Structure 1
Amino acid sequence: MLAERFIKSAVIYVIIGMALGVHMGMSQDHSQMPAHAHINLVGWVSMALMGLIYKTWPKTGEHRLAPLTFWLAHLGLIVMIAGVAMIYAGHAEFEPVAGIGSLITFANMLLFAFLVWRGLQD
């Protein structure tokens, strides 16, 4: 179930990321390219890979903290993207928001790495 939630979320993020890319191309305003890149790389690629890893190696998702990776992934990404989008819209005061989102995302990846390492020991 955790794997499927990650994969479904990844599909939603790639649609959002591609829609933003199409909008940037049509409007010739590429100021949100960093937000677009983060949505696609962290939202689409990272979440899809996390889902596929949880699906391929089920032991990685058996720890009681595994569901937390799903919620932290979303929280970190949403906060980071909001901050990055605002920074590139000319609001430098949102740099701490992007930083907080990045730290949440990094902490989550450390947790995920621990779960993968632990799950692949057997």
Structure 2
Amino acid sequence: MAIRLIKISAVYFAVGVLLGYYMSVAHSYGFAGVHVHINLLGWTALTLIGILYHLFPALTSNGLAKTHFWLHNLGLPIMMICLFLLIATESQSYTAGIAVGATLTVLGVLAFVLNVLMNLKSNGR
């Protein structure tokens, strides 16, 4: 689980950096919100969570870890693609997709928080 999270976070990092590079070259910063969310919720958060899962294996041996992984990694792409399309097309038809993706991502993060609160012990294992 830890390795999968770190690997997928590297993919988010590449996407975020490429989007940032595009904005810089094009001198068009309208997608800054997408760029920031991909880097924060994709790269940074998932890297840190992967490190926590590596350091504290007890966090990976339950359904909450799997629930977090799937909700976070289904929700974030849905939310980011729909936000990108909303900005690119100025069509409000993508707001429902943003809401669905955001809800899945938030539920995933809450599963992670619950996992930490329930399963992280002082001995760490």
TM range (shorter): over 0.9
Q: Deviations over 1:55-97 (max 9, x none)?
A: 1111111113322322211101011101111121112221111
1:84 is the counterpart of 2:83: yes
1:99 is the counterpart of 2:69: no
The alignment yields a C-alpha RMSD, in angstroms, of 1.2
Q: Distance in 2 between matches of 1:97 and 1:83?
A: 6
Q: Deviations over 1:34-61 (max 9, x none)?
A: 1111110111011111111111111111
Scaled by the length of structure 2, the TM-score of the pair is: 0.91
Q: Distance in 2 between matches of 1:57 and 1:117?
A: 13
Give 5+ residue unaligned stretches, structure 1.
none
1:114 alignment counterpart? 114
Give 5+ residue unaligned stretches, structure 2.
none
What is the correspondence of 1:1-122 to structure 2 with a 5 Å cutoff? 2-89=1-88, 90-121=90-121
Scaled by the length of structure 1, the TM-score of the pair is: 0.93
Q: Distance in 2 between matches of 1:63 and 1:117?
A: 13
Q: Distance in 1 between matches of 2:6 and 2:121?
A: 24
Q: 2:64–2:112: 8 Å Cα contact kept in structure 1?
A: no
Aligned length: 121
